[in-house]
Amino acid sequence: MRSLKILLLEPNPFQLMALHQMLNAIGIYDVLTAPSLSAAKRSLVRRGTVDIAICNPQLKGGEGVALIRHLVARQEARALILLGVVAPSVQADLEPLLGDEGMKLLGRLHTPVSAVLMRNLLDSYLSSPRRPVIA
């Protein structure tokens, strides 16, 4: 798989490790992992823009939505994959935000995450006309 830079926000250490290993198994090695919003922001400052951000928008304390708003405002991600069950009201709030600013919503993955479905979403990003971020 072509090189992609991915930001993964997941507070659960087991889930974070499992998703990171899944991405590595798919052939994605440039993965910024973050257990919190503040860690995600620090990673972005150090490593720059990412191709894809992966997070649950309904994390405790609103960290998932806050990360998405941060990424959109600063144009620090080109696409987004939502994790977990997303309430219709949250989805309704996110869609105009993403559409207005040009961040593409690749899709949603329920936990446990399927490697096949993850790969399909990554492939859909790679087949889009936008070019991946160069590290």
**In the chain, helix, strand, coil percent, each to 5?**
50, 20, 30
| pLDDT surpasses 60 at 1 | no
Q: What is the CATH number of the domain that holds 83?
A: 3.40.50.2300
Per the confidence metrics, is the pTM higher than 0.85?
Answer: yes
Q: Let me know if residue 135 belongs to a domain.
A: no
Torsion of CA 113, 37, 86, 8, to 10 degrees: -20
Note the pLDDT tens digit of each residue in 88-121.
Answer: 888 888 878 787 657 899 999 998 999 999 999 9
Burial 56-78 (b: 16+ CB within 10 A, else e): bbbbeeebbbbbbbbbbeeebbb
Residue-level pLDDT at 43: 96
Host domain of residue 22? 5-126
Q: Let me know if residue 98 belongs to a domain.
A: yes
Residue-level pLDDT at 2: 64
| pLDDT surpasses 70 at 135 | no
